[in-house]
Every structure is written in C-alpha cells, then in structure tokens.
Chains A and B, each alone.
Chain A
Amino acid sequence: MSEDRVRSALRQVPLPDEAGAAQRAWRTVDAAFESRERIPRTRKRRGPLVALVAAGAIVVAALTPPGMAVVDRFRDAVGREPSHPALVKLPAPGRLLVLSPAGPWVVHEDGSKRLLGDYEDASWSPRGLFVIATRGRQLVALDSESGEPRWSLSRTDPVRDPRWSGGGLDTRIAYRAGDALHIVAGDGSPDTVVANGVAPIAPAWKPDSHVLAYADAAGRLHVVDADTRRQLWQTSTVKGVRELAFSGNRLAVSTSRRVVVFRRGAPRPFLDLPRGHVLLDTAVLSFGGVLYADYDPRSDSTALFRSDCTIAGTCLLMPDRRMFEGPGRISNLVTSPDGAWITAGWPAADQFLFFESASRRLGRVDVVSNVTAEFSPGGGSGGVFPEIAGWAPPAQ
C-alpha cells in the first residue's frame, strides 16, 4: 500500500453537493466583495515622519507587553487601571455575549462563562433571556443561562446576522438566509420573507418596535413595518454601507469613512473621516455623544475619538477629542446596558478594553489581556481573536 494509494483514496471521496456548495459560497463571496471596505495600499516613501511613527508603534508593540506603553501615552485622556491577566469580572452589571471559533460564550459579571455550543452568529434577545444563534442553515433560539435550544428552523441557504427586537412580549427576529431577509416571531413562528436581494449587512431594529431597517444589494436603505411589510421610507443609494443603527427615530448609516443620519429618508452628514482613513466602528455614549474608531492604514493604527455631537443633531461646537490610540485595529465598540461602560476589542494587543463612559468624558479604562486563549479552550497560539456581540442586562 503506497502513499499514492492513500492520496488517490482521499481525492476520490465524493463531496456532498460540491457544485451547489461552490455556487452558494461564490454568491456570498461576491456580495461581500462588492460591499467590502477598500483600504488604500500604503504608498512607499510617504515621508520620514510617518515611517518613524509607524516603526515606533511596531517596536513598542513588539518589545513591551502588548501595547501597554501605547496605553501609557494616553493616560492623560483616560485613567488606566492595571491590566487584568484574565476576564475575572465585568466592570458593570450584565452579561457579555462573546463570539469565538468554538461558538458563543455568555460571560457573567463575576467572570464565569459558559459556551453555548457550536454556533456562529449570535445576538441577545431584548431582555437577555435568550440568545438567537445560527449554525449553517439553521436558526436556533437558546436559553441564555442553560444553553438549551428552545426552537430552531432550517433554511435552504446559510443563515446569517440574526437580530432580535420588539416591544414587550411580542418580539420579532430578523435574519438573512442567502440574499433573502426573513422575519420570524420570537416563539419561532410564523416565518415570512420580507425582501429578496438584500445586502450582506445585518438588519437593524428600531428599539421597542417592529420597525426594521435593511440595505438592498444596490445600497438603498429601506425602513419597513415588519408586521404589515409596508415600507415606511427608503433612501437613494448609499455607497459602501457597513452598519445600520437606530437612535430614537433616526437611522445612523456607517460606511467605510462616513456616518450619515437619516430621518424619514432625509440625509444629514454626521461624520466624515480624512481621506484614506477607515471608520471601524461607532457607539453612542451615555450623554448622547458618539465614540468612533478611526483607522489610519498608513500608520496601521487606530484612534478612538469622542464627538460631543449627538445623533439627534445637537452639537457643542467642540472639536472631536482623541481619547485613545494603539497599533493595529481597535473596534467592536459595545455599550453596557446601563450606558456607563463601552467595550473595545484590540486584536494586536490581544486585549478587551472597558472604557468608563462618564458624563461628558471618558473615565478610566479597564484592560483585560490574553482574551484569545481564554475563549479558545484547548487552542494554541493560532487562535482567533473573539468578538463581543452584545452586553445584556443581568440574568433575572
């Protein structure tokens, strides 16, 4: 028995639905390619100062405990507590939902955590009693404490981006299956298709309502009543939409460089980063201002800025303040249920950052290190940096 024989045997194993799998995957990849954020390639000889700053950041990241020296540079802006070697507690009441290659984890305030199972996307129900998760072509509602599945449904296309919202007990879940947008009631039935030809972007619910926003493949944004499927308003094409979020009755739309706020279809520019920069993420602060992550590909570093302007349109006419900076990408900004804290994920330093969101300022920052290993049980150094998917109220 030769190696050739084994090789031949391995190559003859029939692959289930090989052509169909390729077709489905290509549709998804093509859609992602169309909507991807373009990062300009770094030009050579950009200037000695930029090169020096970039090199300095790399050296700092390489020669010190990850990024801590960089954190020190910004302690004037935010007071840093000593780094915690593990996620031993949360700084605020509630539970984090963290996505890792092993699946979603629920992390309690005391740092204890539970792996819910082998799922991919996941998000909280409005009160945090359940987690809605996906596994391939399945949508599964899980008890957030026990991880026990309450109901599930299957679609013919891969299921993505489940989002759960609604007022009181009458809740709804929106999700994408292929390029179709579905809505299902919180108890798992009935399931209806709201739109076809949607973009590969998570839909967004207006809080405590059955009003839903989504982007179509052409980049138009639609706001619909999920119960009647009636369109309330739509916009013209917005290029490169990456994220949708409601704030009151306004819809904030993030692209790779801008935030535009829509009210009943009428746009108002909110944020416009310098040319070549990339907007990684935004979060609304407790006083209504906005924290945003501004990535500069030339220096490969991210700065977190605080804007005192609110989504509703009021401004103190103060320039945006740079609150924090570090090498690589810093994003994944998630607000705690009481609005007092905001998280950020920093893969280059393998850290979660927790910023205190005090009135009119960012307070101290708690730093938690070694998060990749913590959410990769049995995994080695080749783990994937986890993602914070949401912060829910404490278990009732």
Chain B
Amino acid sequence: MAGAGREERAWVRAAQAGSASDLEALFRHHWPGAYRAAYLAVHDAAAAEDIAQEAFLSAIRALDRFDRRRPFGPWLHRIVVNRAIDWTRARALRREVGDEQLSVTPARPESRPNDLNTETMSALASLSPEHRAVVVLRHVLDYSPGEIADLLELPRGTVNSRLRRGLDALQERVTKETS
C-alpha cells in the first residue's frame, strides 16, 4: 500500500511537471473506481461517464496547487461522490416540479444484467443519494467509516447509520434473490 502511495505521488509530481504519460498512469489507476462509483450512485451510464470525467478535469485544473503529501484518490472520490449526489438530487427535483418532458431515460446497459445485478442496482436505487454515496465509498472504494466521515464532512455516527441502513436494504434484496 505504501508502495502504491509512493507510486501515486511520483505520478502526481511528474504530471505537475507536465508529463502526460504519468497523468495517464494516474488516470488509468483511478478511472475504474471513479466510473464504477459514479455509475452505482446515479444509475445512468452517460451521466456517470461525465461525472467521472469532470472530476478528472477538476483535478487537472487544480493540479498545480495540489499538495503532493496528500493522497490523490480521496480528493478525486470526494468530487465524484458530491457531483453524483448533486446530479441525483437535481433529477429528483425536476420530477417534483413535474417537468416530464425534461426527464432522463436511463441508458440501456450493453450487456444483459443477471438477476443479482438487477437486484443490486434496484436495491441501491431504493436508497437516498446520501445513503448510496456512503455505501459506494465503503464497499466499492474501501474507505473506512472514519475516512468517509472526513471525506463527506459528516459526523461519524451519521456515516455508520447510513451504512447500516444501506447494508440492510442491500442484504434484504440480494438475499431474496439468491435464496
């Protein structure tokens, strides 16, 4: 892990000096997690791609000011998760005001999902954006509850309760499907 951290710091340092190949290494390392986190949070492939991409663009805009002593991942993931929450809230708001013509049709997945995947996505969709965010940070990106609390600027207790509720909902749906 420390080795990965050193490697990441080297990529950031070289990218700050203008190395596109090191920026690409940083991008390839973090893109899968960022895209998966965004997709699981918003359930829309085009939006997830844009959210993850915009997070990287934000990172580039701030690259020269980035403190190399800090890890890059949490900084990127905070942007991804907050943008995903904003996107989901905005969609919900539009539905509330009844603007049907502007609603988004979720993109069709290219591969046919199996039932477990369908149930997993369905269970996630039943959670609020805030609950989804902590579940994704914990179980997809492997952050501890304390780290999630720092990332989202939430009390530790709030993170724990959201994790518990999210896990209960997921377990209930996934167990039903697999039993």
Contact = CB atoms under 8 A, between A and B. Distances in A.
Interface string B119-145: 011001000000000011001100000
Contacts of A103: 90
Which of A18, A24, A135, A384 has the most chain B CB atoms closer than 10 A to its own CB? A18
Given A1-B174, A135-B104, A118 B50 contact: no
B102 A28 contact: no
Most buried by B among A24, A29, A34, A378: A29
A36 B61 contact: yes
Contacts of B10: none
Contacts of B171: 1, 5-6
Interface of A: 1, 3, 5-7, 9-18, 21-22, 24-26, 28-30, 32-34, 36, 38-41, 101-103, 115-118, 120, 135-137, 147-149, 158, 297, 376-379, 381-384
Nearest to A22: B31
Given A21-B35, A379-B86, A39 B65 contact: yes
Contacts of A29: 23, 27, 53, 56-57, 60
A33 B40 contact: no
A5 to B, nearest CB: 7
A40 B16 CA distance: 10
B159 interface: no
26 contacts: A10-B135, A10-B136, A11-B36, A12-B120, A14-B109, A15-B35, A16-B110, A17-B45, A21-B35, A21-B45, A25-B52, A26-B24, A29-B53, A30-B20, A30-B24, A33-B60, A34-B20, A102-B93, A116-B102, A117-B99, A118-B87, A136-B50, A147-B102, A377-B93, A381-B153, A384-B82
B24 A38 contact: no
B83 A11 contact: no
Contacts of A378: 89, 93
Given A10-B136, A120-B50, A382 B23 contact: no
Nearest to A137: B46
Contacts of A101: 83, 86-87, 90
A12 B39 CA distance: 12
A24 B89 contact: no
B64 A39 contact: yes
Contacts of B31: 22, 25-26
Contacts of A120: 50
Q: Which of A3, A21, A22 has the most CB atoms of chain B within a 10 A radius of its CB?
A: A21
Interface of B: 15-16, 18, 20, 23-24, 27-28, 31-32, 35-36, 39-40, 45-50, 52-53, 56-57, 60-61, 63-65, 82-83, 86-87, 89-91, 93-94, 97, 99, 101-102, 104, 107-111, 113, 116-117, 120-121, 124, 135-136, 139-140, 152-153, 167, 170-171, 174-175
Nearest to A102: B90
A136 B47 contact: yes
A267 B154 CA distance: 53
Given A15-B45, A117-B99, A7 B139 contact: yes
B102 A3 contact: no
A9 B104 contact: no
A32 B27 CA distance: 13
Contacts of A16: 39, 45, 107-111
Nearest to A11: B140
B89 A379 contact: yes
A40 B91 CA distance: 39
B65 A136 contact: no
B116 A9 contact: yes
Nearest to A376: B86
Contact of A17 (B47, B104, B110, B175): B110
Contacts of A9: 116-117, 120, 170, 174
Contacts of A384: 82-83, 86
Given A25-B52, A25-B56, A26-B27, A18 B170 contact: no
A25 B87 contact: no
A6 B139 contact: yes
A7 B83 CA distance: 22
B45 A38 contact: no
Contacts of B49: 21, 24-25, 136, 158
Nearest to B65: A39
Nearest to B51: A101
Contacts of A135: 46, 104
B50 to A, nearest CB: 6
Contacts of B135: 10
Contacts of A33: 15, 20, 23, 60
B39 A1 contact: no
Contacts of A376: 86
Contacts of B139: 3, 6-7, 10
Nearest to B170: A6
A117 B94 contact: yes
A148 B63 contact: no
Contacts of B94: 115, 117-118
A10 B40 contact: yes
A371 to B, nearest CB: 15
Contacts of B64: 38-41
